[in-house]
Structure 1
Amino acid sequence: MTIPTATEDRKVTRALGRRSWLRRLRGDGGRPIWRQPVAAAALAILVVWLLLAVLAPLVAPYDPLAQSADTYVPPSGSHWFGTDSLGRDVFSRVVYGAQLSIPLAIAIVALALLVGGTLGLLAGYVGRFVDETLMRLTDLVFAFPQIILAMAVTAAFGPSTRNAVLALVIVSWPVYARVIRGAVLTMRGEDYLNAARLLGVGPVRALRKDVLPNSVGPAIVLATLELGNAVLMLAALSFLGLGPRPPAAEWGSMVALGSQDLSMWWVSVFPGLAILTVVLAFNILGDALRDRIDPRYAKGR
């Protein structure tokens, strides 16, 4: 019988840990996500919105910035969602709003995950002074309500799309740092990391080859859940006049415009429903991914 070497044992153990969440994500041992009715419906909603964002010039019947004398026209055959105070077609603006809100939310989550994930990996793996310093920094950011801190940052730099994204990245990265740090701390005693140290593997390579791949599962779940929050926070900043500047078609600013005259309900209701469906779909999909990757959540329900 051949006795495996330390290097072979490390590779096998590392691969098993990496593949465990991949098998659960594919649905091994249970129904995959796309066969769960609620999760499948949420995924279908997101696919529809993504298609609308990509095909907006073909789907929208009017120019979203074109003004006309037909102001406050209620929903009809010529204007499915009616028109606003400047005579702009609300349906066209909602469709084009997907081109702005969804990509910006993805950019916010990607940047926050990059910053927070990197800091979380360092804090969890290095520990000691680095861990203490980074965690106190996250506590400092957590001490402020997200929307208040985002408003302060955006107001300091000036209202714009770029500054709104920057502000939301600043307030969002700590949650990724905490989650990734927790995942890394659970790995520190694993056999493959101990074997890596005995074999003289440096910390940078260990982080890249061993720790990072096994942290992908929690990061995917958190990022999916935070996509809905990013859409909502961006809409909140735009509602307050701190996001993309008019006349850009952005859902939050459209709701703000409609709130000036609530008797013309369609101006704010339809972009509000767009926000609701996208945020709800991301949250449902994130819950389904969490239940699949970590079944302990499903058992606790």
Structure 2
Amino acid sequence: MFVASTVVRNTASKFASAPLSAQFGMVVITLYIIAAVFAPQLAPYGEAQIVGSQFEPWSSAYWLGTDNLGRDMFTRLLFGARNTIGIAFMTTVLAFSIGSTCGLVAATFGGWTDQLLSRLVDVLMSIPQLIFALLLLSIFGTSTISLVLIIAVLDSTRVFRLSRAVAVNAAVSDYVEAARLRGEGPVWIMSREILPNILPTLIAEFGLRFCFVFLLISGLSFLGLGIQPPTSDWGSMVRDSATLIVYADITPLLPAAAIALLAVAVNLVVDWFLHTASGLKD
């Protein structure tokens, strides 16, 4: 109980000391997380349940109308938060696990290991990411597992570049040389000496990379190669209701606004975290 109260007080203190932009970002992210976690409890209908006619107008029965199949848009938005954010988060975690590990290995061992990994990454990065993702998804299929693995591998190249760059600077520091002289092994040096000193940069990059992955998955879903129906996804929701724009209906803008708002909120929090971690003062 004491530990929990201490964590709550520390969290409240950090929130109060954050600038308004970061507070806004944290509130928005919290609301998105609540919507994603409690979507089945908050949604008035089932995720794929057809509850009315096509493109019903906003009403007390359908708060945001219905889509092209007669499914409730508000329900689809809530479940879209769970699916889009959840898949993007899993993909980002996997991309960081691959990219940061390879980056640390390349920086610590150097030599042919560094050259081999760096040249492999150069080859993967030489092809535009969206085109490469479309090609691979066309070959391996558009299942959720394929989507996560393909985007994670492609995005891990960007993580590798950053983690290797900051790890190389840390690898030549005095404390790393002292650890080598003590006889510490490469795994110890990577996990105990280099990683803690580059962790703030990696955490900030995680937030930014999540935005890129999130937008990429939404873009692929809009093109029909991302999260597949009947699973709700904000990108596919924009595509399915795009015809309403002709009739001056703002319904297609709602999932697009949800995508944009989350990207802005994450960037605001990441900017504040980077400013705090760097030790700079206003």
TM-score between both structures, scaled by the size of structure 2: 0.89
Cα deviation 1:4-60 (Å, max 9, x = unaligned): xxxxxxxxxxxxxxxxxxxxxx99xxx878621001101100000100111112211
Percent of residue pairs bearing the same amino acid type: 31
The one-letter amino acid of 1:268's match is: P
Work out the CA distance in 1 between the residues paired with 2:109 and 2:126.
25
The one-letter amino acid of 1:176's match is: V
Match of residue 262, structure 2, among 273, 278, 284: 278
**Cα offset, 1:254, TM superposition:** 0.7
Work out the CA distance in 1 between the residues paired with 2:62 and 2:15.
40
**Cα offset, 1:195, TM superposition:** 1.1
Work out the CA distance in 1 between the residues paired with 2:227 and 2:171.
43
Work out the CA distance in 1 between the residues paired with 2:183 and 2:129.
43
Where 1:53 maps in the other structure, the secondary structure is helix
Tell me whether 1:257 sits opposite 2:240 in the alignment. Answer: yes
Work out the CA distance in 1 between the residues paired with 2:59 and 2:185.
66
Tell me whether 1:176 sits opposite 2:169 in the alignment. Answer: no
**Cα offset, 1:101, TM superposition:** 0.8
Contact 2:83 2:233 in 1 (8 A): yes
**Cα offset, 1:223, TM superposition:** 0.3
Gaps in structure 2 of 5+ consecutive residues: 1-9
**Cα offset, 1:286, TM superposition:** 1.6
Match of residue 41, structure 1, among 11, 17, 24: 24
**Cα offset, 1:127, TM superposition:** 0.9
In the other structure, the counterpart of 2:68 is: 85
- Aligned runs of 1:97-136 on 2, under 5 Å? 97-136=80-119
Where 2:245 maps in the other structure, the secondary structure is coil
In the other structure, the counterpart of 2:49 is: 66
Aligned residues: 270
In the other structure, the counterpart of 2:5 is: none
In the other structure, the counterpart of 1:292 is: 276
Contact 1:81 1:270 in 2 (8 A): no
In the other structure, the counterpart of 1:147 is: 130
**Cα offset, 1:294, TM superposition:** 2.7
In the other structure, the counterpart of 2:3 is: none
The one-letter amino acid of 2:145's match is: R
Bigger shift: 149-158 or 260-269?
260-269
> Alpha carbons of 1:204 and 1:262: their partners in 2 closer, same or farther (altered >3 Å)?
same
**Cα offset, 1:100, TM superposition:** 0.5
In the other structure, the counterpart of 1:190 is: 173
> Alpha carbons of 1:174 and 1:295: their partners in 2 closer, same or farther (altered >3 Å)?
farther
Work out the CA distance in 1 between the residues paired with 2:230 and 2:251.
15
Contact 1:33 1:288 in 2 (8 A): no
Match of residue 218, structure 2, among 224, 231, 235: 235
> Alpha carbons of 1:33 and 1:186: their partners in 2 closer, same or farther (altered >3 Å)?
farther
Cα deviation 1:157-190 (Å, max 9, x = unaligned): 0112221111211210011111111111111222
Gaps in structure 1 of 5+ consecutive residues: 1-25
The one-letter amino acid of 2:245's match is: L
TM-score between both structures, scaled by the size of structure 1: 0.84
Work out the CA distance in 2 between the residues paired with 1:185 and 1:74.
58
Bigger shift: 45-54 or 190-199?
190-199
The one-letter amino acid of 1:269's match is: L
In the other structure, the counterpart of 1:10 is: none
Contact 2:108 2:168 in 1 (8 A): yes
Where 2:65 maps in the other structure, the secondary structure is coil
